[in-house]
Chains A and B, each alone.
Chain A
Amino acid sequence: MTIPMNEKIDNLQDDATTGNAQTENRHDSKAQPFIRIENLSKQFDGVAVVDSVNLDIYRGELFAILGSSGCGKTTLLRMLAGFETPSTGRVVIDGIDITGLPPYQRPVNMMVQSYAVFPHMTVEKNVAYGLKKEGVDKTRIGEQVAQILSLVQLSGYEKRKPHQLSGGQLQRVALARALVKKPKVLLLDEPLAALDKKLRERTQFELMNIQDELGITFVVVTHDQEEAMNLATRIAVMDDGRFVQTGTPTHVYEYPTNRFVADFVGTTNMFEGTVSQIANEHLLIDTGDFGVIKASPTPGVNEGNQVWLAVRPEKITISKESITSETTTCIKGVVTDLGYYGNRTIYRVTTETSAVIEISAQNQFRASEPILDSEDEVFVSWDLANSIVLKE
């Protein structure tokens, strides 16, 4: 089990070192990128909000740009839509350089977080607006509007005004309005942020189905990592105007290439230390507070290097007995905090050196009492294959 896993890590990490733009391309490697972003920058008052970004997106992808607020993701999207003029660089879509085109001449449509539905027009008129501007004839407009409204499940709402609609319905109007133009690329800025949790989850799947059905390339900007992972075929994690990692959701979650990604996508226990010894099967990292921890051999990591070891909370086992094996790290501690979520429980274990480790355990069996309680003495352990060694 461990060996193929290690091989996989090696492969992926080789990919990771090849650069930002095309970390892992599930598509035919000879395929022409559909959207090519080259060296794109945007400066506001001398501050680079987007800093020399390169990115290739392929036809039919559902690509997510993930980052916290202020990381430049919305500015990047607005440059694709034509609302911001890049300071440097260019954008090519389907072989055509669109960098200098105004928004109304671009083969892209954008759906913004506020939906920006025209308040003085009915649902029907909102959706028909883009086709009208294209000069499509009336009967065809009618057909296409009806078709797209049924796709977003808004048939029967044609004559409603926006103020008569709920947030979810407004979102569908905005989506239909953008989709009806059959753009080459649909840009979505926080498409689900204004919806409540249940509706958001349902809409996520609907978005994916619609994307599948129409085959339009989607570029989604979001700060919600769960949304990005659930929706997207690939994710680019953005920080401070740059892409820090690009890859499939699994790839970004399980094989982060740096501390920022490991910390930003999901939660992580991070142990800082120095590589004290490199053995065949594992390397030893001296972490001080947590003692010496075993980790998988990682290319490019040498003795004496300062490294960070990332372990996901759900990959750690919590038990009353110590688990010892060749490949396991086991640390003793006391449960100081626990949060019960029904399907899982989050434990915070304080070690003897008063460092805190977070563990997420599935509640697989019904129990009336928590199996572990506060102040219980426990052992936390994980297999070395579940730890990620990060150099930066």
Chain B
Amino acid sequence: MNKRYGETADKAWRSFVIYLPYVWLLLFFLTPFLIVFKISFSDPVIAQPPFTPLFDWARNGMGAVYITFDNFLFLFEDDLYWMSYLKSVRVAAFSTLCCLLIGYPMAYAIARADTTTRNILLLLVILPFWTSFLLRVYAWMGMLSTNGLINKGLLSLGFIDEPMKLLYTDFAVYLGIVYSYLPFMILPLYATLQKLDLSIHEAASDLGATPFRVFIDITLPMSVTGIIAGCLLVFIPAIGEYVIPTLLGGEDSLMIGRQLFNEFFENRDWPVASAVATILLFILVIPIMLFQRYQITAGTNANE
């Protein structure tokens, strides 16, 4: 009897632990999203809240539903939004690629370093997080400005005759994003590379593979999960990035995060802003689903 009771308690505990994250996601992710999704089908009004209700009980004592697709149609008609989406995807993708190219060798070096050096290097990777993100971006503004550290340095060394325009350019946006999100690339890559069995590398070398071939044939394919995880962790936040393009980018660097901010706070057009957010979410869901599928196939392969 006692044992059976213990088993049920065990089961209850187990399902509690399993479903807790789902409840969390439901409450704090799905519900807010549904609210945003709902608003995207309303009309903007000057009122509190600034959109028309979707359900109306007042007329004829019957419930009525008002849905408008105007907001989405508006997004499709105005190229400004399309350009912003495209620009965001382009900036995020290119920044992700830069992070990968810089982060992979760094992660590899950390994974191959001896324990003491490794811990110091890992600490250095995480260290920037101890300062406020905003502060770090402001620091870049100081360095990139016309009278900033970089221009002054180059001028005094005689490499340039007049200050370059660094701040408020696309270059500054890329620099800011790559700088800010590099740790998110390095950490998952490090976790994967650090687990790789050195004897497998040695076996390839023993069979006649030069160090470069060992990297291409063994290291790279065996760290695909780390590469994908790192790329997602950089790409997803980078695509909706608001602070960096606003502070470092030029007037024309209209990324979707900035567009979203404008709709919400400057135009006070919540329904259009919600539509922008909804489409952004769908754009982001695609790469996540691809990764999920890759992991599932890799998982079933391992379990066969």
Asked whether, in the complex, the Cβ of A103 is within 8 Å of the Cβ of B200, the reply is: no
Using A116-B203, A119-B222 as known contacts, say yes or no to A181 and B208 having CB atoms under 8 A apart. yes
B202 CB–A CB distance under 8 Å: yes
**List of B residues within 8 angstroms of A114 by Cβ:** 197, 199
Of A30-38, A129-137, A229-237, A345-353, the one with at least 4 CB within 8 A of chain B: A129-137
The residues of A that contact B222 with a CB separation of less than 8 Å are: 119-120
| Contact string against A for B residues 220-235, beta-carbon threshold 8 Å, 1 for contact and 0 otherwise | 0110000000000000
| Inter-chain contact total with CB atoms closer than 8 Å | 68
Q: Would you call the interface of chain B mostly helix, strand, loop, or mixed? A: helix
- Residues of A with C-beta under 8 A to B209: 104, 129, 133
Question: Does chain B have a CB within 8 A of A282?
Answer: no
CB-CB contacts below 8 Å: B247-304 with A? 301-302, 304
Determine if A109 and B207 form an interchain contact, defined as CB atoms under 8 angstroms apart: yes
Please measure, in the bound complex, the distance between the C-alpha atom of A164 and the C-alpha atom of B209, giving whole angstroms: 25
The answer to whether the Cβ of B218 comes within 8 Å of any Cβ in the partner chain is yes
Residue of A nearest to B209 (CB): A133
A103 to B203 Cα, complex, angstroms: 9
B175 at the interface (CB under 8 A from A): no
A110 touches B206 (CB 8 A): yes
Q: Which residue of B lies closest to A78 (CB)?
A: B202
Q: A116 with B202: in contact, given A104-B208, A104-B209, A129-B207 (CB under 8 Å)?
A: yes
Q: What residues of chain A lie closer than 8 Å to B217, measured between beta carbons?
A: 129
Specify which chain B residues have a CB less than 8 angstroms from the CB of A105 in the assembled complex. Answer: 208
Q: A116-B200, A163-B304 are in contact. Are A103 and B206 (CB under 8 A)?
A: yes
Chain A: CB-nearest residue to B302: A163
A118 beta carbon closer than 8 Å to chain B: yes
Bound complex: CA A240 to CA B256 (Å): 68
CA distance A300 to B37 in the complex (A): 98
On whether A163 and B208 interact (CB within 8 A), knowing A112-B199, A116-B200, A120-B221, the answer reads no
User: Chain B residues near A103 (CB, 8 Å)?
Assistant: 202, 205-206
Chain B's closest residue to A177 (CB) is B207
Taking CB atoms, residues of chain A closer than 8 Å to B14 are none
A-chain residues with CB within 8 Å of residue B221 when the two chains form the complex: 120
- Which of A103, A108, A134, A177 gathers the greatest number of chain B CB atoms within 10 Å? A103
B204 within 8 Å of A by Cβ?
yes
Could you tell me if A116 and B205 are in contact, using CB atoms closer than 8 angstroms? Answer: no
B146 to chain A, nearest CB (A): 51
**Bound form: Cα–Cα A211–B231 in Å:** 49
Q: How far is the CA of A110 from the CA of B200 in the complex (A)?
A: 12
| Most chain A C-beta atoms within 10 Å of own C-beta, residue among B199, B207, B208, B217 | B207
Are the C-beta atoms of B203 and A104 separated by less than 8 Å?
A: no
Given known contacts A114-B197, A120-B221, A163-B302, is B207 in contact with A133 (CB within 8 Å)?
Answer: yes
Contact present for B203 and A118 (CB under 8 Å): yes
A218 vs B202: C-alpha distance when bound (angstroms) = 19
Instruction: Point out the residue from A102, A119, A178 that lies within 8 Å of B205, measured CB to CB.
Output: A102
Chain A CB within 10 A, most for which of B197, B199, B304: B199
Q: Which residue from chain A places its CB closest to the CB of B298 in the assembled complex?
A: A120
Q: Mark B192-216, 1 if CB is under 8 A from A, else 0.
A: 0000010110111111111001000
Q: Are B200 and A104 in contact (CB under 8 A)?
A: no
Is A83 an interface residue when CB atoms closer than 8 A count as contact? yes
Provide the B79-116 mask, 1 if CB < 8 A to any CB of A, else 0.
Answer: 00000000000000000000000000000000000000
- Interface pair B206/A104, CB less than 8 Å apart: yes
Query: How many angstroms between the C-alpha atoms of A163 and B300 in the bound complex?
Result: 11
Tell me which residues across on chain B come within 8 A of A134, comparing CB atoms.
208
CA distance A134 to B209 in the complex (A): 9
Tell me whether A161 and B301 are in contact (CB under 8 A).
Answer: yes
Task: Give the docked Cα–Cα distance between A116 and B222 (Å).
Answer: 13
* Bound CA span A161–B301, Å: 9
A390 to B218, CA, bound (A): 52
Q: Does A170 contact B (CB under 8 A)?
A: no
Asked if A57 is at the interface of the complex by the 8 Å CB criterion, the answer is no
Contact A133:B208 (CB < 8 A) given known A120-B222, A163-B301, A163-B304? yes
Q: Is the CB of B302 within 8 A of A116?
A: no
Closest to B208 in A: A133
Q: In the bound complex, do residue A130 and residue B202 qualify as a contact, i.e. CB atoms below 8 Å apart?
A: no
B228 shortest CB reach to chain A, Å: 15
Cβ contact of A181, chosen from B205, B207, B210, B304, cutoff 8 A: B207
* CB of A293 within 8 Å of the partner chain: no
User: How far in angstroms is the closest Cβ of chain B from A121?
Assistant: 9
Instruction: Indicate the member of B206, B218, B222, B301 with the most A CB atoms within 10 Å.
Output: B206
- In the complex where A103-B206, A104-B206, A118-B203 touch, is A133 in contact with B304 (Cβ < 8 A)? no
| B200: A residues at CB distance < 8 A | 116-119
Chain A residue numbers with a CB within 8 Å of B213 are 133
Decide if A261 is an interface residue (CB 8 Å cutoff).
no
Per-position 1/0 for A91-117, Cβ under 8 A of B: 000000000001111001110101011
Contact of A104 among B197, B199, B210, B301 (CB under 8 A): B210
Contacts of B204 on A, CB cut-off 8 Å?
118, 129
Min CB gap B231→A, angstroms? 19
CA distance A119 to B224 in the complex (A): 13
Q: Are B206 and A109 in contact (CB under 8 A)?
A: yes
Residues in chain A near residue B210, CB distance under 8 A? 104
The CA-CA distance from A164 to B302 in the complex, in Å, is 8
Asked if A81 is an interface residue, CB under 8 A from chain B, the answer is: yes
Contact, CB under 8 Å: A116 / B197:
yes
CB-CB contacts of A140-163 with B at 8 A, as 1s and 0s? Answer: 000000000000000000000101
16 examples of A-B residue contacts, CB within 8 angstroms: A81-B206, A83-B205, A83-B206, A104-B205, A104-B206, A109-B207, A110-B203, A110-B206, A116-B203, A118-B218, A120-B221, A129-B207, A133-B213, A163-B301, A163-B304, A178-B206
Besides A83-B202, A129-B207, A130-B207, 12 new A-B residue pairs in contact (Cβ under 8 A), listed by A number: A82-B205, A103-B202, A104-B210, A112-B202, A114-B197, A114-B199, A116-B197, A118-B203, A118-B204, A120-B222, A163-B304, A177-B203
Residues of chain B having any CB pair with chain A under 8 Å: 197, 199-200, 202-210, 213, 217-218, 221-222, 301-302, 304
Smallest CB-CB A-B distances: 10 pairs = A130-B207, A133-B208, A116-B203, A116-B199, A103-B205, A116-B200, A104-B208, A110-B206, A103-B206, A120-B221
